[in-house]
Amino acid sequence: MIKLLSSSAFSFPKEPARKNEDSILPPRKVGSGFLMAIADGVGSYAGASSASESAIEYLTSLQSAAFESSDAIEKIFEQIKIRVSNLTIENPSYFDAATTLTFCYAGEKGIKIGHIGDCRVYLKNDRKLLQVTKDHTQHQKLIDEGLYKPSELKEASGKNTLISAISKKINLHFQEAFLSYDEICAQDGSVSLFIMSDGAYHSWELRPRFLESTLEDPNRFAANLRRRIIRLEPTDDCSLIAVKLTIKSQLELFD
């Protein structure tokens, strides 16, 4: 049985007066597990926030059975694509509307991850955060294919250019992953999971370290990261979901 020990989340726009095009789903009890997600509406196109909202709204409507089948992730993305495509019915100027989406369902045996775009899932491992998802960006893909060395792209544009998103016009390319608790739980049976939008991990990446005690505690992590983002000035809308889960039963926790 998976239990939520602690969680914290934030989502705020680049500038206070601007609309926040990120949408988040903080940990929500679904069946015997927990569902959480961040969707980042692809800016510069009309309907960015409607697209990210419709992705989160659809996830919110799901029951636990929706995460059980082997093609669950694909089906979820397909359904969201239909909803994003249908936004043009309500507003014809939304024909380019697009969103990224990264969600985690922490079920009985492990964590299922569905991912399209450039939000990231990190897992705490020892004193570091390990990035679990791969960014669907031009640079990442070019490096993966061996066309460029990372140093050759350092100054080049395209770092944030997506090669995949949920949109009427784009074929779905998604990543799915399953992380079994056997492999990822710390000795005390806990798992610390972080979902960040690009605005948030931009600041994290600059110096990807916090005190062990901060990494251990989702609330402290969120407060510290938020402070850092504000100090460096946000480059984009910023969202974070930090959770700490445990597979040990309440009683065992007192042992």
State the residues that interact with other proteins by CB under 8 A.
42, 44-45, 95-96, 98, 138, 141-142, 145-148, 152, 158, 160-165, 167, 169-170
| Residue in the block written with tokens 């402290």 | 220
- HEC-encoded secondary structure of 140-179: HHHHHCCCCCHHHHCCCCCCCCECCCEECCCCCCCEEEEE
Residue 158 Cβ, how far from other proteins at the closest point, in Å?
A: 6
**For other proteins, the closer CB: 22 or 217:** 22
Residue 24 Cβ, how far from other proteins at the closest point, in Å?
A: 21
What is the rounded CA–CA span in Å between residue 15 and residue 42? 16
Tokens at 236, concatenated: 């984009």
Residue 169 Cβ, how far from other proteins at the closest point, in Å?
A: 6
3-state SS assignment for residue 38: strand
Crossing angle, helix 198-206 and helix 218-232, to 10 degrees?
A: 90
**For other proteins, the closer CB: 164 or 203:** 164
User: What is the Cα Rg of the chain in Å?
Assistant: 18
Residue 173 Cβ, how far from other proteins at the closest point, in Å?
A: 10
**For other proteins, the closer CB: 96 or 176:** 96
Residue 133 Cβ, how far from other proteins at the closest point, in Å?
A: 17
Kind and range of the H or E run holding 7: strand 3-12
Amino acid at 200: A
